[in-house]
Amino acid sequence: MSSSPEVRGRHAVKPTATAGAGAGTAIMEPSPAAKKIEGRSPWRLALERLRKDRAAKIATGTIVVIVLCALLAPLIASWVGHGPNQLFVDTGLDEEGNPLAPSSTFFFGTDSNGRDLFIRVLYGARISLVVGVLATLISVALGTFFGLVAGYIGGVVDSLIARLIDVVLSIPFLVIAISIAYISHPGFWLVVFVVGVLAFTYPARIVRGQVMSLKEKEYVEAARALGAGPLRIMFIDLLPNVIAQVIVYGSLLIPLAIVSEASLSFLGVGIPPPTADWGSMINDASGYYQAGFWWYLLFPALALLITTLAFNILGDSVRDAMDPRGAGIYE
């Protein structure tokens, strides 16, 4: 290792009256190359642990399939020859105008309007995934920002943000839904925004807690000694140290956002019809499944269940892989 300084014969420490050689200069520093720390990157370690996790592998596989369904939905639709909003008044309903059971023409059966449920479930995945990811990005960005500010600045600012979090947490979901209903044009972006903003509290709390302990570290003191301002300390020094936690909890927010979106749509204040959406499909089915039209409810509900379950399992695995007690990535 060339970084060790050459041993100097001269006496660099203050000369002493009867001094001989320098005090202890002759001992070489042990080279760290000898005890090379294997791939210090915590990400690589976490990834390796994830690879060994069977549940994570199954969940990842499931998510890949769901994503493929969403991406390929138009292709599959044109191949089957059924559009998502196409009404098959003649072929898709029975004589009494009721939905048709699954068949070789309609794999998942049809709905009360004679639309192909299979194609609609595929298209529904698009809404769920896009809303889930976008809303989570909003939650994580807002939460990280507020958490950093509250944790680092502290004082009055922290109290204000803490109150804001309390207020948001105390608002029942139904109240939000009813409020949205009063807005004349609920739509895609409103849903993304509402779901995203509501969930910012979780990452905000986690980041705030982390930052409160991290800001006592000497490297923050060192940054202040160099003249770094609060913004730089928050975003250059502290952010890289909380990002792992943020990603872990972010991955757990995706299924929450998907369920929230489906709930809003189920209540009729989410994605407006006729867009194919699992939540509104479940709502549509509510008057039918007891009358024996089981497929009407089953397929959208199953799609929602499998998707949120897969994201939850993966999120848990990611958390386990990065667990502080697991491998000490948080010093």
The residues that touch another protein, with contacts defined as CB under 8 A, are: 1-5, 8, 12-14, 16-25, 27, 29-32, 36-37, 40, 217-219, 221-229, 232, 236-237, 240-241, 243, 331
**Smallest distance, another protein to C-beta of residue 304, A:** 37
**Smallest distance, another protein to C-beta of residue 315, A:** 22
Q: Which is nearer to another protein, 172 or 229 (CB)?
A: 229
**Smallest distance, another protein to C-beta of residue 147, A:** 17
Q: Where are the alpha helices (DSSP H) in the chain?
A: 42-51, 54-80, 117-153, 155-170, 173-182, 188-198, 201-214, 218-226, 230-232, 239-266, 278-285, 294-321, 324-327
Q: Which is nearer to another protein, 245 or 317 (CB)?
A: 245
**Smallest distance, another protein to C-beta of residue 222, A:** 5
- The helix/strand/coil state of 110 is strand
Q: Which is nearer to another protein, 43 or 289 (CB)?
A: 43
Q: Which is nearer to another protein, 28 or 183 (CB)?
A: 28
**Smallest distance, another protein to C-beta of residue 246, A:** 13
Q: Which is nearer to another protein, 12 or 305 (CB)?
A: 12
CA 92 from centre of chain: 38
**Smallest distance, another protein to C-beta of residue 267, A:** 43
Closest by CA to 265, choosing from 291, 274, 69, is: 274
CA distance 271 to 240: 36
CA distance 301 to 312: 16
Q: Give backbone dihedrals phi and psi of 110, rounded to 5 degrees, phi first.
A: -125, 170
**Smallest distance, another protein to C-beta of residue 7, A:** 9
Residue 116 · residue 130 · CB < 8 Å = no
Q: Which is nearer to another protein, 138 or 233 (CB)?
A: 233
CA distance 80 to 242: 47
Based on C-alpha coordinates, what's the Rg of the chain? 28
Q: Give backbone dihedrals phi and psi of 116, rounded to 5 degrees, phi first.
A: -75, 110
Q: Which is nearer to another protein, 21 or 169 (CB)?
A: 21
Q: Give backbone dihedrals phi and psi of 274, rounded to 5 degrees, phi first.
A: -95, 10
